[in-house]
Amino acid sequence: MRKTALAFAVSALATLALSTLAKAQTPPVPSSDGRVDADKQEWIALFNGKDLSGWTPKIAKYELGDNYANTFRVENGLLEVRYDKKAWKTFDGRFGHLFYKDPFSYYRLAVEYRFVGEQVPGAPDWALRNSGAMLHSPDPRTMPRDQNFPISIEGQLLGGNSDGKPRSTANMCSPGTEIVYQGKLYDGHCLNSSSPTFDGDQWVRAEFEVHGSGKITHYVNGQKVLEYELPQYGGGSVDNYNTTTKPDGQLIESGYISLQAESHPIDFRKVELLNLAGCMDKAATNYKSYFIKHVPEQCKYAEGAKAAMRKPGEYPLMADSLAQEGVPKGRLEGPFEFHSKIIAGTVRRYWIYVPAQYNPKKPANVLVFQDGQRATNPDGSLRVPQVMENLIARGQMPVTIGIFITPGNLSETYPTDLKFSNPNHRKEEYDAMNGDYARFLIEEMLPEVGKKYNLTDDPEKRVIGGTSSGAICAFTVAWQRPDVFRRVISMIGSYTSIGYAPAADGKPMTPGGDLYPTLIRKNPIKPIRIYLQDGEHDLSNEHGNWFLANQQMLSAFEYANAKADKDGTLGARYEVKHFWGDGGHSDANGGTLLPEILKWIWTND
């Protein structure tokens, strides 16, 4: 799979004034029913102004927790970095970092800082009046003794040198990481912001708004100065690290925060965080209007207001499946009718989703989804175009054209009374293991859409998916043509004998999809990434047991990878992720998972 994770971030949060942020720290007062003001921001004071409670130092060449020479200290209500002359006669590459105890994913971090004093002798020139807030770091317990910097995204803090030359602050540096800037993988180590220069010992407020593995925005004294996206492992500028903590190309969704001691004394008078992940259920007492990441397990309800206990198979829609205010709107074109020559005598409908960020000068990624009539249903369980719209806007999946196709129907025109039901040629197309549907898609449908839109021809940037028979159909296309499609979304996949037909009238037996686990085990590995979803109450009938069939698929992928590793076989491995729920033969669980599936399926793109 390719390493680069390209996408285009398009939405920006409104700038918050410093006075508003300061006032927002007052603890909320619950009402009589336990509710708090949904718009009132609840900032968390990471630094309590008294001591280093909740923080752990890690200084290069010392063990975790060894605060050599009291480098990090609290005096007069300030968190200070100091280098006592007797202990720090020379710097000797002993970069320090003070880690907060909890990891975060979606948040806004604010630090108020000033540079003071003189730099330690023996430190590099670039470290003069230089510090940072390190974001998305691995657990500090994984850092070897001599590791110089945490693998992280650094919000670099710089002070001016009083020489009349510009020196911006709240820049981005990338020890062991990479980011996407203006649609391209940034090839430098540090990226300057547009902030002014701050000479002397004046106080500066820097803020870093982090949206998981999506967009990161930097602010200085309330003004936006830098924005980029898709933080991921990669690059250099970090030494003596644990290689297991740096899986290059993987997006970074969350991590620890640390403050830097980089050879120049610095004071922090405030370190606070606004968590942007929490309960987004408006019926809950702890709902907040500014949350952008729903964490349902955190929801709290007034007595008698909580919903009844969930039943097996009940899966609610996530926030990313719903229209979001402020998100640029794409458009769903269609339905259009298409008569196939490859699958003769059939007619089908298709829709095209075009995101607002589409640029005809740049090839767009492609998502093909079967049973398009259900995938595009705005009131259904999947709502694929809506999920795409929200994720693309936040930079959590690349700019992608969606193509949603129904199965064919043996008729001159597509029946208007089918609505969301299946056309009559679905089994012959979706459950067949021949190459007809792949040919139709590659030789007819993609060129048809390509007449109007600039589509990528990179198989790593094409995803094909579906549910039930649409899922096995998607896998069949990737299995037969990995030169065109290599990424598959499979929900409640029908890896059963639906397509089987016994030998008759001189014709050989036609295999069904239950043959796939055998084919996977006995054929060379193909470069396929697949997400498998099913539920323990899925169908069991004359065609087979769906849940067992999906588990057989997973087992076959795992066996093929293990055998290749054991034999030392070079080349691709199957990339597989799965979720086994408690649902039946329904799109509900897949719809709940779809936002996370789409984020994962594009990883490394």
Domain-ending residue, one of 256, 275, 294: 275
pLDDT at residue 433, rounded to an integer: 94
The two tokens of residue 519 are: 């084919």
pLDDT at residue 291, rounded to an integer: 92
pLDDT at residue 304, rounded to an integer: 61
Rounded average pLDDT over 404-426: 95
The two tokens of residue 361 are: 């000068």
pLDDT at residue 18, rounded to an integer: 29
**Structural domain contains residue 373:** yes
**Structural domain contains residue 474:** yes
The answer to whether residue 330 scores a pLDDT higher than 50 is yes
Confidence of residue 553 (pLDDT cuts 50, 70, 90): very high
Distance (Å, whole) CA 398 – CA 395: 7
The values of phi and psi at residue 518, to 5°, are -65, -45
Do 371 and 465 belong to one domain?
Answer: yes
**Structural domain contains residue 382:** yes
The answer to whether residue 295 scores a pLDDT higher than 60 is yes
pLDDT at residue 324, rounded to an integer: 86
Please say whether the beta carbons of 603 and 5 come within 8 A: yes
pLDDT at residue 27, rounded to an integer: 42
- The count of other CB atoms within 10 Å of the CB of residue 290 is 17
pLDDT at residue 529, rounded to an integer: 97
pLDDT at residue 306, rounded to an integer: 55
The two tokens of residue 533 are: 């979803």
Please say whether the beta carbons of 547 and 574 come within 8 A: no
pLDDT at residue 79, rounded to an integer: 97
More confident residue, 417 or 26: 417
**Structural domain contains residue 592:** yes
pLDDT at residue 251, rounded to an integer: 86
Confidence of residue 164 (pLDDT cuts 50, 70, 90): very high
More confident residue, 481 or 27: 481
Distance (Å, whole) CA 151 – CA 248: 11
Confidence of residue 521 (pLDDT cuts 50, 70, 90): very high
Do 117 and 62 belong to one domain?
Answer: yes
Domain with residue 105: its CATH number is 2.60.120.560
Rounded average pLDDT over 523-540: 96
Rounded average pLDDT over 206-229: 94
Rounded average pLDDT over 437-447: 98
The answer to whether residue 454 scores a pLDDT higher than 50 is yes
Confidence of residue 302 (pLDDT cuts 50, 70, 90): confident
Confidence of residue 23 (pLDDT cuts 50, 70, 90): very low
More confident residue, 154 or 25: 154
Please say whether the beta carbons of 151 and 244 come within 8 A: no
Please say whether the beta carbons of 431 and 345 come within 8 A: no
Do 350 and 436 belong to one domain?
Answer: yes
Do 326 and 216 belong to one domain?
Answer: no
**Structural domain contains residue 299:** no
Do 333 and 213 belong to one domain?
Answer: no
11-20, 534-543, 563-572: the lowest-pLDDT one: 11-20
Do 252 and 358 belong to one domain?
Answer: no
The answer to whether residue 8 scores a pLDDT higher than 80 is no
Radius of gyration of the chain (CA): 27
pLDDT over 90, % of the chain = 80
**Structural domain contains residue 518:** yes
The answer to whether residue 31 scores a pLDDT higher than 80 is no
The answer to whether residue 190 scores a pLDDT higher than 50 is yes
pLDDT at residue 29, rounded to an integer: 44
Confidence of residue 443 (pLDDT cuts 50, 70, 90): very high
The answer to whether residue 463 scores a pLDDT higher than 50 is yes
The answer to whether residue 82 scores a pLDDT higher than 60 is yes
The answer to whether residue 19 scores a pLDDT higher than 50 is no
Please say whether the beta carbons of 81 and 258 come within 8 A: no
Which of 532, 531, 536 has its CA nearest to residue 581? 536
Do 354 and 496 belong to one domain?
Answer: yes
Percent helix, percent strand, percent coil in the chain, to nearest 5: 20, 30, 50
Do 429 and 494 belong to one domain?
Answer: yes
Rounded average pLDDT over 352-378: 97
- The count of other CB atoms within 10 Å of the CB of residue 282 is 8
The answer to whether residue 300 scores a pLDDT higher than 90 is no
pLDDT at residue 236, rounded to an integer: 85
Spell out the long-range contacts of 25-29 with Cβ–Cβ below 8 A and sequence spacing 24 or more: 25/272
Distance (Å, whole) CA 478 – CA 438: 8
Which residue type is seen at 56? T
Beta strand segments in 101-222, E? 106-115, 130-137, 153-158, 171-173, 177-181, 184-185, 190-191, 204-211, 215-220
**Structural domain contains residue 326:** yes
Please say whether the beta carbons of 153 and 136 come within 8 A: yes
Decide the pairing of beta strands 130-137 and 153-158.
Answer: antiparallel
pLDDT at residue 185, rounded to an integer: 87
Per-residue pLDDT tens digits for 478-492: 999 999 999 999 999
Which of 325, 355, 364, 324 has its CA nearest to residue 183? 364
Q: Which residue range is the domain that position 532 belongs to?
A: 319-500+510-601
Domain with residue 550: its CATH number is 3.40.50.1820
19-23, 137-141, 304-308, 576-580: the lowest-pLDDT one: 19-23
pLDDT at residue 281, rounded to an integer: 82
What angle in degrees, to the nearest 10, is found between the helix axes of 384-393 and 588-601?
30
Do 261 and 371 belong to one domain?
Answer: no
**Structural domain contains residue 7:** no
Task: Give me the helices (H) in 440-545, please.
Answer: 446-450, 469-480, 516-522
pLDDT at residue 312, rounded to an integer: 78
The answer to whether residue 311 scores a pLDDT higher than 90 is no
Confidence of residue 582 (pLDDT cuts 50, 70, 90): confident
Do 372 and 268 belong to one domain?
Answer: no
From residue 56, alpha-carbon distances to 246, 262, 297, 549 in Å are 22, 16, 28, 48
Do 334 and 244 belong to one domain?
Answer: no
pLDDT at residue 7, rounded to an integer: 32
The two tokens of residue 17 are: 């004034």
DSSP state of 15: P
Confidence of residue 596 (pLDDT cuts 50, 70, 90): very high
DSSP state of 231: E
Do 260 and 329 belong to one domain?
Answer: no
Please say whether the beta carbons of 593 and 601 come within 8 A: no
Please state, rounded to an integer, the average pLDDT across all residues of the chain.
90
Beta strand segments in 162-299, E? 171-173, 177-181, 184-185, 190-191, 204-211, 215-220, 223-233, 256-261, 266-275, 277-278, 293-294
Which of 135, 140, 139, 136 has its CA nearest to residue 156? 135
Total domains in the fold of the chain: 2
Confidence of residue 305 (pLDDT cuts 50, 70, 90): low
